[in-house]
Structure 1
């Protein structure tokens, strides 16, 4: 793995009111805005209690399949010869709500709640410690979780490769339990726990957040019995910015395969990443080698018995942006399900 220092592009995109700490780390403030319907008088904003259900919030994504051979995106609703636009894949839009008046006839103005997540992190690291930084994929996945609050509310969520814990913190707004996992190097698990504690005032008070080690290179059968037991009722697995090295990618896919096979209540896996393009003489084109390698390895494991066991789909990025970052076209959100 490279010994060069790498730095996330996030830090040059916006002012996160970053301060340096005596231990050489940085603490940044990631501001976000909750949807107006999560800030109504009828319910509390972050903790998930006493909130009125949003009838327009049940918006299962208009997913598109990824062809396992060509890696092209295919609409799941169209036949091979149908070149017309598929109306089911037109980006989902929420209904426009009519202006509301109070009992005195005054216009009711919806006020969106603004809040801040504080995260301690490194500003630059070597490649094998990139989890100590924050990357765009974590904010993309956080946006998706906030937009799909109804899906994740009162669920048990496992995050793989939690890094400094930002996406797990966002998950704790709505979930009943969040398991943050990563490898225990460079003080990473202690840093995740510190960030969870730092933002505990934001979480659902009924949510239990735990931090523990899960190494992609350790086989599922070798997990501690306590970890295997607590994973049995996990309903969603999430991961952001974990595809950047071929060896780690292969171990990550094996971990996904084990979890998909061993967790009986698992509904779906969501993976957010940013495709990193490079120009290669072999291809005479700009390619995203790490992303392409992930697709190849997953396809190989998914079809190893001659049948396709799981669906890999690309989720359209039509949901709003609640955090401040550049939602660049290279960002991708994948969904794996039965």
Structure 2
């Protein structure tokens, strides 16, 4: 996972499941993405962000510098030059978790932050959460999916996340019925109010 380019060049099951959840929720009327601002973290190949843009969102797909070339190519091919009736937009930007954020990411703050398979390394958890805290306003909803690989890393993430966020789980009955996996978990986070609720 630490090899440059590996994480950005593989389409993980959790990304497919998150993309299909967005499509299913919009088609079912449970979710409105039209004109919503979305920041995707660890975009990799860009499937989730491209789907969100095709569903009407204004998406900024982010990843590490060495992963941006393939990401830009996929966004260009599937959203910008796709020849489809694209209702939203997609742009690509560099983001290193834990660094200060560019103004375009937080002004205005996103309606949604999306990420798949970003909770894989205990060493990256603190930086990921620092970035989420900077990105999120009180109106921001974070949706994270991940394959269940390492309970210790997930528990560490949840322990730290619950200090600043209310954390919930989206159960499989709410996912696209054709895209479910017992190996994938889906979490929803929202910032706690100043009173902690």
Please give the secondary structure, in 1, of the residue aligned with 2:43: coil
On the 8 A contact 2:43/2:62 being kept in 1, the answer is yes
Equivalent position of 2:190 in the other structure: 337
On the 8 A contact 1:157/1:175 being kept in 2, the answer is no
Distance 1:178 1:226, change over 3 A: closer
Structure 1, unaligned stretches of length 5 or more? 3-125, 278-287, 303-309
In structure 1, what is the Cα distance between the partners aligned to 2:88 and 2:74?
Answer: 16
On the 8 A contact 1:275/1:290 being kept in 2, the answer is no
Deviations 1:291-322 (A, max 9, x none): 112112213x32xxxxxxx3200111112245
Please give the secondary structure, in 2, of the residue aligned with 1:253: helix
Q: Which has the higher helix share?
A: 2
Q: In the alignment, is residue 320 of structure 1 matched against residue 197 of structure 2?
A: no
On the 8 A contact 2:110/2:135 being kept in 1, the answer is no
Q: 2:159 aligns with which of 291, 296, 299?
A: 296
Question: How high is the TM-score relative to the length of structure 1?
Answer: 0.50
Distance 1:152 1:159, change over 3 A: farther
On the 8 A contact 1:132/1:163 being kept in 2, the answer is yes
Please give the secondary structure, in 1, of the residue aligned with 2:7: helix
Question: How high is the TM-score relative to the length of structure 2?
Answer: 0.83
For the pair shown, the structure with the greater C-alpha radius of gyration is 1
Please give the secondary structure, in 2, of the residue aligned with 1:159: strand
Distance 1:170 1:135, change over 3 A: same
Q: 1:144 aligns with which of 21, 26, 33?
A: 21
In structure 2, what is the Cα distance between the partners aligned to 1:157 and 1:170?
Answer: 11
Please give the secondary structure, in 1, of the residue aligned with 2:172: coil
Aligned residues: 184
Distance 1:213 1:317, change over 3 A: same
In structure 1, what is the Cα distance between the partners aligned to 2:77 and 2:9?
Answer: 16
